[in-house]
Chain A
Amino acid sequence: MARVVVDVMLKPEILDPQGKAVARALPGLGVEGASSVIDVRIGKRIELTVDGEVDAATLAAVEELAHTLLANPVIEDYTVRAE
């Protein structure tokens, strides 16, 4: 079995309120150097376990799945890779 990973992120121009809320919480942790964090964006990592080897056809199929359902290209960017 092999794994294909789809990473999904909101497009840069789409506000990520979740990331903003986390960014606001970070300075309160008292971690030295945390003040250098100026922005947080939160996305999704989707792991697809596939039967057999990952070849070009598998990646093409996952690409289509990503474009059709796993990500919404109107608001999200995604990458597909074998891992």
Chain B
Amino acid sequence: MSARVGVVTFPGSLDDRDAQRAVRLAGGEAVPLWHADADLHGVDAVVLPGGFSYGDYLRCGAIARFAAIMGPLVDAAREGMPVLGICNGFQVLCESHLLPGALVRNDHLHFVCRDQRLRIESSGTPWTSGYAPGQEIVVPLKNGEGGYVADERTLDELETEGRVVARYLDVNPNGSRRDIAGISNAAGNVVGLMPHPEHAVETLTGPSTDGLTFFTSVLRALTGLSAPVPA
């Protein structure tokens, strides 16, 4: 039986269908979840997709944090359910205090859209266990408010605890502190990242298929199989 991965749609979500498709291509069952749902429909993991929930009003992710589904989601995340926040989903996770820090407007003020090279810094999360530590991948990046900021103490903590999950290579596209593209919580089950692995799962539409491993990793973690040996 394949694992069931929920994908939450907020008003203004854009990448929910792509995230569902990535889950299916990885071999899982994608379960659409609605922001107003009062429970998680028994899913085994959740993806918070990219987009502009609630029009990015006030701050990106600030209003989505108080959607009905976020109560049970935060509880489940604290109990260890794998949760991946991509782009706007990352912003929602920070606003929910499931992840430390915040995402602020790109330092150069422009919206950035490019194929971005990243280094996977941690394969110790259920979402990245299929990558070799240090593996370099290319996935699309598209954001206007993707600058990761946190105080120095928090940044040091993330580094020493191995919670920087991915880092930008070549260029820092948005002014993120220490080139951070993605982080995890202390337990490792909650991961947020600005770049979009769900847009790099098919050669027809993506710059690579490097992103698919996020989804195959979590399915393996959920079905109890060991992570694959990286090529």
Contact = CB atoms under 8 A, between A and B. Distances in A.
Interface of A: 10, 14-15, 17-18, 21, 69-70, 72, 74-75
A15 B102 contact: no
B113 to A, nearest CB: 18
B106 interface: yes
A70 B58 contact: yes
Interface on chain B toward A: helix, strand, loop, or mixed SS? loop
Interface string B181-199: 0000000000000000000
B102 A17 contact: no
B38 interface: no
Given A15-B175, A74-B150, A69 B106 contact: no
Interface on chain A toward B: helix, strand, loop, or mixed SS? mixed
10 smallest CB-CB distances across A and B, nearest first, come from: A75-B102, A74-B102, A17-B109, A17-B105, A17-B107, A21-B109, A72-B59, A72-B102, A15-B107, A14-B149
Given A69-B58, A70-B58, A18 B95 contact: no
B101 interface: yes
Interface of B: 58-59, 62-63, 66, 94-95, 100-102, 104-109, 147, 149-150, 175
A75 B58 CA distance: 13
Contacts of A14: 104, 149
Contact of A75 (B66, B104, B106, B175): B104
Contact of B109 (A18, A69, A70, A72): A18
Contacts of B106: 17
Nearest to A71: B59
13 contacts: A10-B104, A17-B106, A17-B107, A17-B108, A17-B109, A21-B109, A69-B58, A69-B62, A69-B63, A70-B58, A72-B95, A74-B94, A74-B101
